[in-house]
Structure formats: structure tokens, C-alpha cells
């Protein structure tokens, strides 16, 4: 077989794969759309069954009370409303204390700002503390003697008194006075020592001012932090509407362990069940199985197509460079086989699409499934709730007393024979007797790669 002929045959096979994918992806899109609508039906039932409006809370309150359960949805909602009012009151009290912030939610930001300022202030305090220390060391002996003998404040006059006062014995044998006078002389006399004292006084004043400001800011940070924590705790306790609904739903799921509650709950939702709940449940299960089947077929065909794309590109390049008349050495399949492979692909695409569409009219018994993009999320509160509702109702006396309804819900009505016949046809993946099956196409790919 010439390279040009092989290129044309494989291009036709690629087109056939594209057409088959288009058909299967089209029906898959329809199924996804229908699944979205059916899941909305289930969500609607759950939303109504966990309604936390005033009327919904009253209805649920009656069910819990009649079942002998202690939880009161209405009281719970009232308690939350009280906590919301308390949070609003606290907000009104706090805002005037902080005119520098735009809203109460900025309290945390304000606390962070003060923390950063404190870091800088602390460094400044440490610097001034060191400056005070450095000013103290040269005149430490003078300061100690002045304090011991009452020469404070250490003015120039008092420095003169330290130098001039006392007799010969005191000057000679009083070691503290001797050291004080010695320091004064070493510093250059009374005037220069007085200048040193003034420098120390300035350093002390600067330090005391900075440290007082630092302490005040620490106190303010504590106040802001405490207020922010108090408001956060108040708002956390004051659940929003979604939080109230989540807690009520959680309590309903716990209550489903009570036979009395299940009985009362089933009666209250009987009309919702009749309006499409169970039909949606079993229909979703059937559609999900068809969707999964199509996904597998589409994934497989997409991989086949992707796997040959490089080979086809190389063949087209070879033809464009004038090698079309060369022999495609090593290719074992014939042109007729490739033609049949393309035909088989088209037939398979049409067959699968037709049967998938037929299977969407089936109803199959429902069981929970794992979650994927187009499955109902098996980890969600809604899934858990309507699955419990489905089981509790289906096997309760409400369902058994309504034989026509429960039979239709299970897909065992008058179309039962047709419905049960579709599943084995669908999932057996039957094919005509092709000379080249889709699996054999892999051999074609390998042969072409070897030839090039």
C-alpha cells in the first residue's frame, strides 16, 4: 500500500471516529441535562422537608414533639435569633469606641496594626533604656552618695556641697564621699558633672515618656483583642440562615433512627413523594449507569483517536513532501480492512447512541453510588437525607398501601418486560461481526509507526 493511500484510509478512519464521538457526546450531553433537572427535583423535596421558615419550623416542631424527641426546631431558631440580637447590640456598643475603623469587621485588622506598632515602640524603648544606662554609668558613685546623704536633687549647688562639706577625717576615710569627689574631679569639675546630670535627666524623661506610651498601647491592644474576640464569639454563635438549616437537617437525620419520627415524617411528605421524588430517584440511577457506560466508550474512542493523531500527521507530512508514492513498508492490514474498520466505527457509534437513548427511557432500582461530576454528591447532606427518606418510605406501610405507586417507582409496571430487556442489551456492548474490530485498529497504528 502506498503512503498516500494509507494516509487517506487512516484519515477516513479518523473522521469515522470523530463522527462516532459526536453522536455519543451528543446523547451524553442530553443525559447530563436530564440529570441536572432530576437532581433539582430531589433538592426541591429536601428543601421543603427541611424548610426553616416560620411555617416550616412549626411543622417540624410538631413532628419532633409527636415523636417524643427533645429537640425543638422552633426553639432552636428562636435561640439563634436571640444570639443575633445580642451580636447586633454588642456591635452597636463597640463601634463608638473605635471611630478610626470603617466597620466592626476591621477590629481584627486594627489589632494587627497595633501589634506591628508595638514592635517598633518596643525597640525604641530598649534604645532609650540603653541611653539612660549609658548616661548613668559615668556618675553612678555621685548618684549613690547624693541619695545616701540627702543631696537630691543633684543640682550644681548640691554638687558644690558634696565637694566642699565635711572635715579632713570625712574626706579621707569616708570612702563613698571620696569616690564621689574623685568622679567629679575626673569629669572636669562641678560644671561638667552638672551637665552630665542634666543629660541623664533628659534620658530618664525620654525613656519614661516612651515606656508610658508603650504600656498604654499594650493596654489598648488588650482591649481591642478582647473586643474582637467577644464579637467573633457572638457572631459565631449567631448562625446565619444556612447554619440554622444545616443544624435542623442534622437533627432530622438523627431523628430518622426513631420509628415514631419516621412514621410522622413519612406522612408529612407523602404528597412530595407522589409528585416525583421516588421516580426521580430511580430515574437518576438508570441515567447514571447509561452516563457511565457512554463515558467509558467515549474515553476509549478518544484514546484511540489521540493515539493515531501523531501517525496521521507524519503520513500527511510525508505526502506533502512528495513521498506519497512510496510503499508503506511493514503495514500488514489492507485497505479493505481499514475501510471496514472505519465502517465499523460509524456503525458502533450509531448503535451505542441509539441504545443509550433507548436506555434513558428505562427505570432501574436505585442504589447509592460514588460521587463524580454528574452524580448526585453522595457525601452531601441532601444525598444522605433523600436516600434515608427513600428507604424509609419505600419499605413503610405508606408505600405498601399504595401498590400502583410503589410498583411504578420500582420500574415494575406494565412496561416491565421492555425495561428489563434493555439493560442486558445495553451493557453487553453487542457489535456486528466486523472483519476489523475496534481493537484491531491498534495493530494498524503499530504497523504504520513501524513503516515510517
The answer as to whether 78 is a domain residue is no
Q: Which has the closest alpha carbon to 308: 452, 442, 436?
A: 442
Nearest to 361 by CA among 426, 429, 295, 277: 426
pLDDT at res. 178: 74
Would 77 be classed as within a structural domain? no
Is residue 274 located within the same domain as residue 235? no
Give the model confidence (pLDDT) of 257-309 as tens digits: 888 887 777 677 665 555 566 667 667 766 777 788 888 889 988 988 887 88
Tell me 92's DSSP state: H
pLDDT above 90 (res 410): no
Cα–Cα distance between 286 and 267 in angstroms, integer? Answer: 27
Number of C-beta neighbours around residue 428 at 10 A: 9
For residue 2, list its beta bridge partners. Answer: 327
Q: Do you know the residue count of the chain?
A: 452
Residues 223 and 269 in one domain: no
Q: Does 180 lie in the same domain as 147?
A: yes
Q: What is the mean pLDDT of residues 208-235?
A: 94
Cα(442)–Cα(243) distance, rounded to whole angstroms?
55
Residues 357 and 328 reside in one and the same domain: yes
Distance CA 262, CA 109 (A): 49
135 against 314, higher pLDDT: 135
Residue 180 is predicted with a pLDDT of: 85
From 210, 241, 272, the end of a domain falls on 241
Mean pLDDT of 252-259: 83
Q: Output 414 or 10, whichever has higher pLDDT.
A: 10
Nearest to 45 by CA among 242, 271, 367: 271
Residues 6+ apart with CB under 8 A from 159: 142, 151, 184, 190, 193, 194, 197
Range of lowest pLDDT (127-136, 182-191, 404-413, 439-448): 404-413
Where is the domain boundary, 186, 214, 241?
Answer: 241
Which of 241, 270, 301 is where one domain is finished?
241
Structural domain boundaries, residue 123: 96-241
What was the pLDDT predicted at 402?
Answer: 47
Same-domain pairing of 19 and 153? no
Answer for the pair 385, 252: CB distance below 8 angstroms, yes or no: yes
Domain co-membership, 284 together with 412: yes
- Residues 278 and 221 reside in one and the same domain: no
How many Å apart are CA 16 and CA 12, to the nearest integer? Answer: 6
**125-163 confidence digits (pLDDT tens):** 999 999 999 999 999 989 998 888 888 888 888 888 888
* Percent share of the chain, pLDDT over 70: 73
pLDDT exceeding 90 applies to what percent of the chain? 32
386 domain residue, yes or no: yes
Q: Is the pLDDT of residue 75 over 90?
A: yes
Domain total for the chain?
Answer: 2
Q: Which residues partner with 327 through β-bridges?
A: 2
At residue 199, the pLDDT reads: 94
Q: How far apart are the first and last CA of the chain?
A: 13
User: Which of 298, 417, 295 is closest to 362 using CA atoms?
Assistant: 417
Residue 401 to residue 290: CA distance in whole angstroms: 32
Local confidence band at 328 (pLDDT 50, 70, 90 cut-offs): confident
Amino acid at each position: 500500500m502506498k503512503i498516500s493511500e494509507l494516509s487517506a484510509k487512516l484519515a477516513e478512519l479518523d473522521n469515522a471516529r470523530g463522527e462516532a464521538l459526536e453522536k455519543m457526546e451528543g446523547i451524553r450531553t442530553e443525559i447530563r441535562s436530564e440529570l441536572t433537572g432530576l437532581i433539582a427535583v430531589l433538592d426541591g423535596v429536601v428543601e421543603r422537608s427541611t424548610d426553616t421558615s416560620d411555617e416550616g419550623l412549626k411543622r417540624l416542631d410538631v413532628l419532633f414533639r409527636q415523636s417524643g424527641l427533645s429537640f425543638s426546631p422552633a426553639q432552636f431558631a428562636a435561640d439563634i435569633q436571640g444570639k443575633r440580637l445580642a451580636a447586633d447590640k454588642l456591635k452597636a456598643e463597640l463601634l463608638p469606641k473605635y471611630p478610626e475603623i470603617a466597620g466592626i469587621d476591621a477590629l481584627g485588622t486594627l489589632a494587627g496594626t497595633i501589634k506591628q506598632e508595638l514592635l517598633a515602640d518596643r525597640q525604641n524603648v530598649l534604645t532609650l533604656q540603653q541611653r539612660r544606662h549609658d548616661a548613668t554609668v559615668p556618675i553612678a558613685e555621685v548618684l549613690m552618695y547624693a541619695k545616701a546623704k540627702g543631696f537630691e536633687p543633684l543640682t550644681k549647688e548640691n554638687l558644690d556641697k558634696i565637694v566642699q562639706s565635711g572635715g579632713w577625717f570625712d574626706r579621707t576615710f569616708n570612702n563613698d564621699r571620696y569616690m564621689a569627689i574623685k568622679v567629679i574631679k575626673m569629669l572636669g569639675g562641678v560644671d561638667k558633672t552638672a551637665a552630665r546630670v542634666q543629660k541623664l535627666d533628659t534620658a530618664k524623661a525620654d525613656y519614661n515618656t516612651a515606656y508610658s506610651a508603650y504600656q498604654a498601647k499594650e493596654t489598648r491592644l488588650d482591649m481591642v483583642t478582647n473586643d474582637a474576640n467577644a464579637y467573633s464569639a457572638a457572631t459565631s454563635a449567631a448562625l446565619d440562615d444556612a447554619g440554622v438549616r444545616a443544624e435542623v437537617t442534622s437533627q432530622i437525620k438523627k431523628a430518622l433512627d426513631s420509628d415514631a419520627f419516621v412514621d410522622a415524617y413519612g406522612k408529612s411528605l407523602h404528597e412530595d413523594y407522589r409528585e416525583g421524588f421516588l421516580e426521580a430517584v430511580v430515574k437518576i440511577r438508570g441515567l447514571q449507569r447509561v452516563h457511565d457506560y457512554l463515558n467509558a466508550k467515549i474515553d476509549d474512542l478518544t484514546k484511540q483517536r489521540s493515539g493515531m493523531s501523531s501517525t496521521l500527521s507524519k503520513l500527511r507530512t510525508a505526502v506533502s513532501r512528495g513521498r506519497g508514492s512510496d510503499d508503506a513498508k511493514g503495514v500488514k492490514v489492507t485497505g479493505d480492512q481499514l475501510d471496514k474498520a472505519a465502517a465499523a466505527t460509524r456503525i458502533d457509534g450509531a448503535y451505542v447512541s441509539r441504545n443509550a437513548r433507548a436506555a434513558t427511557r428505562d427505570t432501574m432500582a436505585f442504589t447509592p453510588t460514588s460521587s463524580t461530576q454528574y452524580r448526585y454528591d453522595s457525601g452531601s447532606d441532601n444525598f444522605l437525607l433523600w436516600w434515608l427518606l427513600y428507604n424509609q418510605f419505600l419499605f413503610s406501610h405508606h408505600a405498601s398501601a399504595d401498590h400502583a405507586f410503589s410498583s411504578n417507582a420500582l420500574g415494575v409496571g406494565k412496561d416491565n418486560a421492555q425495561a428489563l430487556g434493555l439493560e442486558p442489551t445495553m451493557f453487553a456492548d453487542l457489535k456486528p461481526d466486523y472483519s476489523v474490530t475496534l481493537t484491531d485498529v491498534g495493530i494498524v497504528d503499530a504497523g504504520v509507526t513501524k513503516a515510517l
